[in-house]
Amino acid sequence: MRTMPQISNKGKLMPASPIRKLTPFAERAKQQGKKVYHLNIGQPDIETPKGVLDAIKHIDFKVWAYTQSEGTLSYRKKLVEYYNRANYNVSVDDILVTSGASEAIVIAMQSCFDSGDEVIIPEPFYANYNAFAWMSSVTVKPVLSVIENGFALPPIKEFEKLISDKTKAIFICNPNNPTGYLYSYEELVELKNLCLKYDLYLFADEAYREFCYDGNQFLSPMHLEGLDEHVIVFDSISKRYSACGARLGCFITKNKKVIETALKFAQARLSPGMVAQIAGEAAVDTPQSYFDKVNKEYTERRNMLVAALNKMEGVYCPNPGGAFYVVAKFPVDDAENFCQWMLEEFSHDNQTVMMAPAAGFYSSPGAGKDQIRLAYVLNKEDLANAMICLEKALKEYPGRTLIGESFEAKGKN
Amino acid sequence: MRTMPQISNKGKLMPASPIRKLTPFAERAKQQGKKVYHLNIGQPDIETPKGVLDAIKHIDFKVWAYTQSEGTLSYRKKLVEYYNRANYNVSVDDILVTSGASEAIVIAMQSCFDSGDEVIIPEPFYANYNAFAWMSSVTVKPVLSVIENGFALPPIKEFEKLISDKTKAIFICNPNNPTGYLYSYEELVELKNLCLKYDLYLFADEAYREFCYDGNQFLSPMHLEGLDEHVIVFDSISKRYSACGARLGCFITKNKKVIETALKFAQARLSPGMVAQIAGEAAVDTPQSYFDKVNKEYTERRNMLVAALNKMEGVYCPNPGGAFYVVAKFPVDDAENFCQWMLEEFSHDNQTVMMAPAAGFYSSPGAGKDQIRLAYVLNKEDLANAMICLEKALKEYPGRTLIGESFEAKGKN
């Protein structure tokens, strides 16, 4: 007999965010007066471009009204200008403005997948993809990418092993969150051939498209010929202009049936935010000098972080080509315990570090247990202090797997 | 054999918005130079309070950052102030800030319903509830409310006939969109007893809570004792402060398990908009004089609209107690044809009216075929002109069901 209404199984089993899981421990550490360096979350400290903030300050409407469900025509025109500068060759009809890339992904899953359908995603992957798939009753089939080659695209035959009648799409994030890996032209072509061979959608989350280092150029599946019916791109202004709080993303595809279908889901929630779209319009005029400065800053941070991590005994960190994350391997029994211990038990000069255990970014049980994602979203001084803390912590942690012996991580050389 | 990836059945069968369905005909009418009075959509012409717009103009942050997934503490504190002024007796932990009431409803459906579960909704109801239920693979069981008694709550025995093991909730919108009906204390108590008897959630969409006329006081299921585990309220600042473009709503419940579960879904999409929350904070300080003025304006419009409609031969329109909609019955063969004909074929002094056929607000096939929803969101002069057009149109429409004879709509007296 029931005595009160019950929550759903869907709700009970909904995966909690691995990024925010340790938040209560961080809160307690702060209450104890510890300074906590947040390397756990992709919230950059970089200032939003002045032109974007000015556009907000200069709004001149009297009625804060709904916009079109697909986004205002004027914002979509600016987006066309932005993407066509990068040779996407899109029109306003190929774009749907969304509340962050998150909403774009949910709409794509609803438009393209039925309950029980499968999507193949190289792991580790952005943990919320699991949540979005769960919400749509879709099954994620992970294909393992490995730290030894810097999390490059797994061999295509590994994807093919997973393909069944239920497989509807391959889903990549490029540059990758959490690994920072930037896919090469050759890898994108391999994915193209796979999608054409099996009639699969190719979903591409490009939220970090502006963050490519060492002179590497960003390439999108939108640049590949013959894939117009297959590619759906998700994007967001969150990282590009340090405007995470705008909740402004978009959904891009040249597949007319898909965008028509997606529009029905967009209409159900009426409209994206109006002020965000006004700011987003201004954002497209952000001068190249802003990006040059930001990329220089991130490159320096990455170099510093990667060098500091690799100097620590038993730690291995690849040097990724994009985004602002690294996934590193640590000489610890369990990275989640270690991260929690750093917040609960450890401090150095009354400081500690919060990081995201990488296991939450894997879908295969047990994978990535000794890996951690670090976001280099703090200034270099804070980052240097965080690295000092981390090095000390690794020496003190009771669950370390190195005891006074030299250790060579797999693939370190 | 497939040649390109297919859209999902979920996407194919997703219901299109009945409010926006006739938009292409309206666009064409405008291209032909006709003036179109928009009574089809709940986008008020009322100005947003100056304090809300000023809060946007005065933002002083440098980084447009994510907020907490549940909304900022400062905004939730202001919401507590707002709702506790109305005796909801809630705390910050009972509130989750969402992107419009739409997102709050989707999160509630995911948190409380599994695939195949059922929710009972008095019809006609806000059409997008169908879309949200469809997205969650939930079945809507409609219970008919009738124009003859102004769309009052249907008899409880009609609800009971529909209750099965799969029934998880009753869902009301109060004051009602599309009918404008304002539920009485006695009706809410009947719903309370029903929900307690069968352990059902009571979902209440209160987006129009500030719009009650003729001295009627708004009552919420939140005011009823013993229902804390059952009630989930969805709200939005869209209509209250004429801020539809803010996309700012909330989810309120005292059921701890529900809000914990809902938070997981909220975390997956990271955060609601930051500027909207800053504006929302300011909105809570909107002076009562704003609401008094707005309610006076809407009361006058409603009185004018209802009188004008009831004066037209064969038309019947109840006089609703809230929101800014009416559903009226027209002497036409098919209200959808009539609405389309008004945009395509009709004009008076080069003007016409766009309205929402009520059939889209019913879930039972064939119901409401001669009914239309009108939103009184235009100033009185435009509203008067729209009524002149409508009266002329009814006389000219080839599918009218009255030919030179006196007609008394059921329940008109």
Residues 6 or more apart whose CB falls under 8 angstroms from that of B309 comprise B315, B316, B317, B326, B328, B374, B387, B390
Task: Among A10, A125, A200, A231, pick the best mutation site for testing chain B contact (most B Cβ within 10 A).
Answer: A10
What local confidence, expressed as pLDDT, does residue A93 receive? 97
Cβ <8 Å between A137 and B128: no
| A&B contacts, CB < 8 Å | 262
For residue A250, give the H/E element and its range.
Answer: strand A249-252
Using H for helix, E for strand and C for coil, what is the string for A305-354? HHHHHHHCCCCECCCCCECCEEEEECCECCHHHHHHHHHHCCCECCEEEE
pLDDT in tens, A41-58: 888 999 999 999 999 999
Which residues in chain A are closer than 8 Å to B65, comparing Cβ atoms?
43, 244-245
Find chain B residues with C-beta within 8 A of A272's C-beta: 247
- In this complex, do A244 and B270 lie within 8 Å of one another by their Cβ atoms? yes
Cβ distance B57 to A52 less than 8 Å, yes or no, reads no
Residues of B in contact with A279 (CB under 8 A): 64
What is the spatial distance between Cα B191 and Cα B171, in angstroms, rounded to a whole number?
A: 10
Q: Is the pLDDT of residue A408 over 70?
A: no
Q: CA-nearest residue of chain B to A19?
A: B267
Buried b (16+ CB within 10 A) or exposed e, A370-401: bbbbbbbbbeeebbebbbebbbbbbeebeebe
B chain contacts of residue A241, beta-carbon cutoff 8 Å:
64
- Average of pLDDT values for A349-368? 95
Q: Which of B48, B63, B245 is nearest residue A67 as measured by Cβ atoms?
A: B245
Taking contacts as CB-CB distances below 8 angstroms, the residues of chain A near B245 are 64-67, 271, 273-275
Are A244 and B56 within 8 A, CB to CB? no
Contact A273 B271 (CB under 8 A): no
Distance between CA atoms of B281 and B299, rounded to whole angstroms?
A: 27
Contact A110 B10 (CB under 8 A): yes
Are the Cβ atoms of A245 and B200 closer than 8 angstroms? no
| Cβ B167 vs Cβ B136: under 8 Å | no
CB burial string A144-154: b at 16+ within 10 A, e below: ebebeebbbbb
When computed from its CA atoms, the radius of gyration of chain A, rounded to whole angstroms, is: 22
Residue A272: which of B114, B117, B247 has the nearest Cβ? B247
The C-alpha of B409 sits at a distance from chain A's nearest C-alpha, in angstroms, of 34
How far apart are the CA of B399 and the nearest CA of chain A, in angstroms? 30
Q: Band of the pLDDT at A403, cuts 50, 70, 90?
A: low
Q: How far is A245 from chain B (nearest CA, A)?
A: 4
Query: Which residues in B lie closer than 8 A to residue A115 (C-beta atoms)?
Result: 10, 115, 137
CB contacts, 8 Å: B137 with chain A: 115, 137
Q: Which of B20, B48, B56 sits opposite A63 (nearest CB)?
A: B48
Gap from B228 CA to chain A (nearest CA, Å): 10
Instruction: Please answer yes or no on whether B242 and A169 come within 8 Å at the CB atom.
Output: no
The residue ranges of every structural domain in chain B are 9-47+289-396, 50-283
Distance from the Cα of B290 to chain A's closest Cα (Å) equals: 14
Q: How far is B331 from chain A (nearest CA, A)?
A: 30
pTM, 2 dp:
0.94
CA distances from A46 to A57, A287, A290 (A): 19, 15, 10
Rounded to a whole number of angstroms, the distance from the CA of A239 to the nearest CA of chain B is 10
Nearest chain A residue to B48, by CA: A63
Q: Do A111 and B43 touch (CB under 8 A)?
A: no
**Contact residues, chain B, for A271 at CB < 8 Å:** 244-245, 247
Q: Using DSSP, state whether B275 is helix, strand or coil.
A: helix
Distance from CA of A184 to the nearest CA of B (A): 24
Helix residue spans in A209-315 (DSSP H): 256-268, 274-283, 288-311
Q: Between these two residues, B28 and A403, which has the higher pLDDT value?
A: B28
The shortest C-alpha distance from A150 to chain B (Å) reads: 27
Across the interface, do A64 and B244 touch by the CB < 8 Å criterion? Answer: yes
On chain B, the residues whose CB falls within 8 A of the CB of A65 are 43, 244-245
Q: Which of B48, B64, B170 to mutate to test the interface with A (most CBs of A within 10 A)?
A: B64
Considering CB atoms only, which of A10, A43, A128 is closest to B65? A43
Which of B67, B268, B279 is closest, CB to CB, to A132? B268
Find out whether A167 and A198 touch, Cβ atoms under 8 Å. yes
CA-based angle B338:B342:B344, to the nearest 5? 110
Residue in A21, A55, A105, A374 with CA at minimum distance from that of residue B64: A55
**A407 pLDDT exceeds 80?**
no
Q: Determine the 3-state secondary structure of B188 from DSSP.
A: helix
Beta pairing partners, B144: B123
DSSP secondary structure string for all residues of B118-132:
EEEEEES--THHHHH
Evaluate whether A187 touches A153 at the Cβ level (below 8 Å): yes
Q: What is the average per-residue pLDDT within A77-95? A: 98
With beta carbons under 8 A apart, name residues in chain A contacting B282.
none
Tell me the two tokens of residue B354: 């766009």
Encode chain B (413 residues) as per-residue pLDDT tens digits. Answer: 456 899 999 999 998 887 777 888 999 999 999 999 999 988 899 999 999 999 999 999 999 999 999 999 999 999 999 999 999 999 999 999 999 999 999 999 999 999 999 999 999 999 999 999 999 999 999 999 999 999 999 999 999 999 999 999 999 999 999 999 999 999 999 999 999 999 999 999 999 999 999 999 999 999 999 999 999 999 999 999 999 999 999 999 999 999 999 999 999 999 999 999 999 999 999 999 999 999 999 999 999 999 999 999 999 999 999 999 999 999 999 999 999 999 999 999 999 999 999 999 999 999 999 999 999 999 999 999 999 999 999 999 999 997 654 444 444 43
Q: List pLDDT tens digits, range A202-234.
A: 999 999 999 999 999 999 999 999 999 999 999
Scanning every residue of chain B, which has its alpha carbon at the shortest distance from the alpha carbon of A258?
B7
Residues of chain B contacting A200 with CB distance shorter than 8 Å = 5
Which tokens sit at B317?
């329109």
Please state, in angstroms and rounded to a whole number, the distance separating the CA atoms of residues B72 and B61.
Answer: 14
Gap between the Cα atoms of B172 and B344, Å rounded: 35
Fold of B50-283: Aspartate Aminotransferase; domain 2 (3.40.640)
List, as one string, the DSSP characters of A160-189: HHH--TTEEEEEEESS-TTT-----HHHHH
pLDDT of residue B403: 60
Pick from B3, B8, B103 the residue to mutate for testing the A interface (most A CBs within 10 Å).
B8
Average pLDDT, chain A: 94
Q: What is the mean pLDDT of residues A77-104?
A: 98
Cα distance from B91 to chain A (closest Cα, Å)?
20
Determine, for residues B110 and A67 on separate chains, whether the beta-carbon distance falls below 8 Å: no
**A47-74 average pLDDT score:** 97
Top-tier CATH class for A9-47+289-396:
alpha beta
Chain A nearest-CA distance from B57, in A, is 4
Residues A376/A239, Cβ–Cβ less than 8 Å: no
Residue A3 pLDDT class (50, 70, 90 cuts):
low
